[in-house]
Every structure is written in structure tokens, then in C-alpha cells.
């Protein structure tokens, strides 16, 4: 008995890895459960939904700016967060432009927008466009507000930005109705510090799970109007959209991963407590 609890106390990490691997793989084959929707996610959904009532947005005089500051490392979360809002915009016929301050961002977002454009019959350059990558220094953010086209000269496909059909009425960030910023980095601070107060637009965001605690603070301070927190937020958004996609499916995997970690914590504590007690005796 003593031996058993000692093993439990110092369980080989390879066994932990193997159990986790089996549980995560098995969870892919179990159907997902509906997710309770949190207030920050609901706020993002309501703002995006409300855009279709906006006269300027309907007439194409104002657009949505999607800023996918994302990379492959966080794509499991940020990719789905990007997709759900793009899908919502395309569904409601709202035009949007993509611009990123992370080199991989435009390419990753381009794949998502292309696949959604096929599904909803949207045309690149007319219903959405990809402005590409920009070097993210503090001065660039300020310049975007003052003189948009001095920064945004060519798009992702190397075409002059001013010649993109949907951009013909867009003079700069003052013609943006909503900024949606997705990231696993700290770039949100630049948007809040240098852009937010100078433009008349709603501002929503999405972050990775590890940054959720920071964003709760930013949201509570009303510096952003809503945010999608990690995979769970993306799954909530899918539920609101009525789409059963990767968010809900991956959340099921995370569901089992969390439960297993909780089980590990309890087992580890039982092992440590009992073996300590037996050793004393």
C-alpha cells in the first residue's frame, strides 16, 4: 500500500503524457456540448450584429477593420476567433479589411477569408480585402490615424491599396465602424494607447487563454467594448452563430483536458498526503 502511494506521489511524467495523449485524442470523437455564453463574448456578438443596421456600413461608407496579430503558435485559438467574426460579417454582408502587425498574420487570415468567401459567395476586393503586414511601431499606429494611406500603400497581393474597389470611399481609420483585434501578443496596448481615442469606432478584441486575465482588466475598464476569451470564447461565439465548427469541437477536447488535469491535481495530492502520513508512522 505504501509503495502504491509513493508511486502516485512521484508518478513518472511519461505516464502522465501518455494518459493525456490518449484522453485528448479520444475526446475528438465525442460530440461537443453547448457552451454557456459569457458577457464579453455576447457583447462582441451584439456589436457585430448591430453593424448590419448601421446606414454607413450598409452603403459601404464605413468598414470593419480586422487586425489578426496572430501566428502559427497560437493559431489553434486565434484562428477560430478570427474565423467566427469573419463568418458573422460575411453572413451579414458587412465589408471588412484585414491588416496585421505580425508577419504571419495576413497569410493565415487570408486562408480563412478565402475559404469563407467561397462558402458565402463573396469577392476579394469588393466584399473584403487584405491590406497585408505592417511594421508595428508606436509611430506607425499614430500615423495610421493621421494619414492612413501613407502607411497602407499596397495590399497583400501587391496592388495599390487606393485602387481596391471597396476602399474607394475609405479615407482612413475615421471610416472604420469597428476594430476587431485578435492576438496572442501584447499589441492591444498600442491600439488602446494610440488609436482608440482618436477614432469614432467600436473596439472589440480576442485573446489567447493565457492572456484572459489581462483582458478581463481591460474590459472592466471599458477600454474595449467586448472580447472573445480563448477557445471557450470562440466556442461560445459559434453557439451564438448557430455553427458547429472547430471551436465547439476543440472545446470538447479542452473539456476533457481540464478534467484530466483536475484529476491529476487531486491524485497528486492524495499520493503526497498519504505517503507523507505513512512515512511519519
Q: Using CB under 8 A as the criterion, which residues of the chain lie in contact with other proteins when the complex forms? A: 11, 13, 16-17, 20-21, 24, 32-36, 38-39, 71-76, 107-108, 111, 135, 137, 139-140, 142-143, 146-147, 150-151, 158, 212-214, 216-217, 220, 232, 251-252, 254-255, 257-262, 264-265, 267-269, 272-273
Closest CB 132 distance from other proteins, rounded Å: 12
Asked if 191 and 141 touch (Cβ cutoff 8 Å), the reply is yes
Q: Report residue 268 as a C-alpha cell.
A: 497528486
Nearer to other proteins, 9 or 127 (CB): 9
Strand residue runs (E) in the chain: 63-69, 96-100, 128-133, 176-183, 202-207, 226-229
The partner residues of 182 in beta bridges, in order of sequence, read 68, 206
Nearer to other proteins, 60 or 233 (CB): 233
Nearer to other proteins, 126 or 139 (CB): 139
Name the minimum Å distance from CB 138 to other proteins. Answer: 8
Write down the least CB distance from residue 154 to other proteins, Å: 11
> What stretch of H or E contains 20?
helix 13-27
Residue 17 CB, nearest approach to other proteins (Å): 5
Pairing of strands 226-229, 128-133: unpaired
Measured between alpha carbons, how far is 156 from 130 in angstroms, rounded to an integer? Answer: 6
Using alpha carbons, select from 19, 36, 38, 107 the residue that is nearest to residue 68: 107
Sheet containing 63-69, strands listed edge to edge, beginning at the edge strand earlier in sequence: 128-133, 96-100, 63-69, 176-183, 202-207, 226-229
Alpha helices in 166-245 (DSSP H): 188-190, 212-220, 230-241
Which neighbouring-strand residues pair with 176?
A: 63
| Residue closer to other proteins (CB basis): 10 or 56 | 10
Q: CB of residue 229 vs other proteins: minimum separation in angstroms?
A: 9
Comparison of 50 and 209: residue with beta carbon closer to other proteins: 209
Q: Measured between alpha carbons, how far is 233 from 254 in angstroms, rounded to an integer?
A: 13
User: Which residue's CB is nearer to other proteins, number 64 or number 102?
Assistant: 102
CB of 160 to other proteins, least distance (A): 15
Amino acid at each position: 500500500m505504501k509503495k502504491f502511494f509513493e508511486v502516485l506521489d512521484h508518478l513518472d511524467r511519461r505516464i502522465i503524457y501518455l494518459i493525456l495523449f490518449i484522453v485528448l485524442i479520444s475526446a475528438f470523437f465525442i460530440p461537443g456540448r453547448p457552451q454557456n455564453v459569457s458577457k464579453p463574448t455576447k457583447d462582441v456578438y451584439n456589436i457585430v450584429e448591430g453593424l448590419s443596421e448601421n446606414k454607413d456600413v450598409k452603403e459601404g461608407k464605413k468598414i470593419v477593420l480586422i487586425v489578426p496579430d496572430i501566428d502559427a503558435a497560437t493559431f489553434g485559438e486565434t484562428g477560430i476567433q478570427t474565423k467566427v467574426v469573419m463568418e458573422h460579417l460575411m453572413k451579414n454582408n458587412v465589408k471588412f479589411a484585414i491588416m496585421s502587425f505580425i508577419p504571419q498574420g495576413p497569410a493565415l487570415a487570408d486562408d480563412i477569408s478565402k475559404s469563407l468567401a467561397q462558402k458565402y459567395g463573396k469577392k476579394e476586393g469588393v466584399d473584403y480585402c487584405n491590406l497585408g503586414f505592417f511594421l508595428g511601431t508606436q509611430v506607425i499606429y499614430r500615423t495610421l490615424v493621421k494619414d492612413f494611406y501613407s502607411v497602407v500603400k499596397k495590399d497583400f497581393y501587391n496592388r495599390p491599396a487606393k485602387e481596391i474597389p471597396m476602399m474607394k470611399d475609405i479615407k482612413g481609420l475615421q471610416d472604420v465602424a469597428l476594430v476587431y483585434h485578435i492576438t496572442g501578443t501584447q499589441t492591444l496596448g498600442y491600439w488602446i494607447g494610440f488609436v482608440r481615442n482618436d477614432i469614432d469606432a467600436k473596439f472589440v478584441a480576442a485573446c489567447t487563454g493565457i492572456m484572459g486575465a489581462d483582458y478581463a482588466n481591460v474590459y472592466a475598464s471599458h477600454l474595449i467594448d467586448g472580447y472573445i476569451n480563448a477557445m471557450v470564447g470562440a466556442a461560445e461565439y459559434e453557439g451564438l452563430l448557430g455553427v458547429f465548427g472547430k471551436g465547439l469541437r476543440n472545446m470538447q477536447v479542452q473539456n476533457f483536458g481540464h478534467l484530466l488535469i483536475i484529476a491529476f491535481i487531486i491524485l497528486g495530492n492524495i499520493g503526497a498526503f498519504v505517503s507523507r502520513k505513512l512515512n511519519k508512522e
